[in-house]
Amino acid sequence: MSTQLASDIYGRSVSVETVNGQDVYTVTDPNTEATFSVSFSTGTPQRNAYTTINAMPASVTPPAQTALQIYTAAIIAAIAFGQQIMIQFAVANTMAGITQAGQTQAVMNYTADLAQCLSSGSLYAAMTDIEVMIADTSSTKTSLSPFITNAILYSYLNQLQAYLGVTVTPNPGS
């Protein structure tokens, strides 16, 4: 039996199911029907901090979860969100002609730290990287236009901020 642990503002859900002594965590995106799963050895139940991840109505009693389950669910959801951002970026740049412009490697080099943050679920660090990129006025960054611009960077920064529930920074250039 699968138990839903959390869901984010985009409707993606994280669930856990015990299969052969392993806790299998699955993130499901209802829009794309994509799933991402990872498993760990079943842990010993600890204090239930479940409601710190997913605020539920008072009438719903969540199942007891281990700290490992709670943090794993949150990190899997953050990784899935980071992957979604990276896919959006790759698709937008492909459609804008990055390959034909010969800028793929240069953009990958410029965004390497950001990509590492997004792929590991380090979303606060990703926001910091984007803020540094926004402030960057170097010729390296300007040569990557139209694939890297402040408008694009603010778009992704704002998505991260909304996901994390922090104040959204307005784009002063729009």
pLDDT tens across 69-86, in order? Answer: 778 888 888 999 999 999
Q: How confident is the model at residue 45, as a pLDDT?
A: 35
Helix (H), strand (E) at residue 152: helix 150-164
Q: What are the pLDDT digits (tens) for 109-138?
A: 999 999 999 999 999 999 999 999 999 999
Lowest mean pLDDT among 25-29, 50-54, 123-127: 50-54
Q: How confident is the model at residue 96, as a pLDDT?
A: 94
User: Cα(24)–Cα(53) distance, rounded to whole angstroms?
Assistant: 18
Domain ranges (residues) in the chain: 3-74, 96-164
Please choose, from the candidates 9, 14, 40, the residue with its C-alpha nearest in 3D space to the C-alpha of residue 26.
14
User: How many CB atoms sit inside 10 A of residue 103's CB?
Assistant: 20
User: How many CB atoms sit inside 10 A of residue 150's CB?
Assistant: 19
Which residue do the tokens 């002594």 mark?
Answer: 21
